[in-house]
Every structure is written in structure tokens, then in C-alpha cells.
Amino acid sequence: MRRYNAYGGQAPTDGHALHSPARRRGATWLEIFRHQVAQVARFYSTHPAATAQTSPPSCSVSSATDLSWLPSSSVDYVFTDPPFGANLFYADCNVVWESWLGDVTDTDAEIVVNRSLPTSAGGKTLDDYEKLLAQAFNEIRRVLNPGARTSVVFHNADDKVWSALLSATDSAGTRPDRRSACSTRCSAP
């Protein structure tokens, strides 16, 4: 994932370019690991408050369609970056390292449009995608405190995919304020 850059530097491939670059730059995993550990150590040395907390931050993994481990009206803010229609198959992309970790994505719950497979074999239509997105936004609405906000990062060149997102947020009663939602990565239709 690191391309050769004649001007030097590490030059990882762009955020969503999940391909091997034509001219790669070698990288020693141990050096990268050391660098990451040093970065975390630097953070904790310069932000003592992060270590002084009485209850440490926690991290959970689950499908966004089922947040039953979170009580209703218990969350102040949600940031979400849902999959963009059929643009990327994250479960497929992640299968190597998820296998190393011994816990692969449950593809039944994966929010994606997958026309490569028949629906009987795990394929998903735009309608399926919208239903799963709606489940996720329903859960977001349930766990949010009244008046709390959600930020949604989204991009797709296909207006049908945008409509699926807006229908899902509408059905959950969490329609985004598109005036404030647009950034360089997000263009509302």
C-alpha cells in the first residue's frame, strides 16, 4: 500500500485506493510498529488528562444495526461514516487481517450493495442496503440523548444511493441537515 514517491516521504496510497501501486516502496513492519507505539506514547506524555481519568475510555465492536449493548438516550454525539453503496466491499478487503485476528465481519449485517452475488448467496440490492442503513439510524436515534447530534460522512456519485441514505435517515427520524453536512468529501445532490 506504499507507492514509490520520487520526492521521498512515506507516500501511502490515497485513502480509498485499495490496490497495489505499480511502483511500491518497501517498508519494514517493525519500523512502522515502533513509530505507531512512539506516537501513542507521545500522546499520553503530552495529554496527562488521558491517563488520569477514573474510568478509562472503552471500545466495543458490533454491527451498527444492533446497539442493544447501549441503553436508550445515553449518547451525546455520534459520528458515522457508513459504506457508500456498492463502492467498496469492506468485508472482502479486510478478510486477511480479520482472519489473523480470528473474527471476520458478519457479512449478513454488512451494509453494502452487492450485485455480484445472487441474493440467495449473500448479494444485496439497493433496497436491502437502505433497510440495513435504516436499522443503523434507528439505533442511533434510540441511543442519542434528546437534542443530541449526529455527523454523517457520505459520498456517492449515484443519486439513487443518496436517496437510499436520505430515506433511511428519514424513516429513523434523523434526517441530516444537508446545509451543514457538506464538506470536500461530501456532495449532496
Ligand X SMILES: C[S@@+](CC[C@H](N)C(=O)[O-])C[C@H]1O[C@@H](n2cnc3c(N)ncnc32)[C@H](O)[C@@H]1O
User: Quick check: 20 and 3 in contact, CB under 8 A?
Assistant: no
11 binds ligand X (CB under 6 A): no
Smaller CB separation from ligand X, 63 or 167? 63
Residue type at 183? S
70 binds ligand X (CB under 6 A): no
Smaller CB separation from ligand X, 92 or 170? 92
The stretch among 38-46, 106-114, 122-130, 171-179 that binds ligand X (CB under 6 A) is: 106-114
The stretch among 6-14, 75-83, 166-174, 175-183 that binds ligand X (CB under 6 A) is: 75-83
Residue labelled with grid coordinates 427520524: 173
C-alpha 59: how far from its chain's center?
14
CA distances from 112 to 14, 35, 86, 122, 149 (A): 21, 34, 6, 11, 24
Q: How many residues does the chain have?
A: 189
Residue type at 172? A
DSSP 120: G
171 binds ligand X (CB under 6 A): no
Among 1, 33, 42, 81, which residue sits at the site for ligand X (rule: CB under 6 A)?
81
Please give the residue ranges that form the binding site for ligand X (CB under 6 A).
63-65, 81-83, 90, 109-111
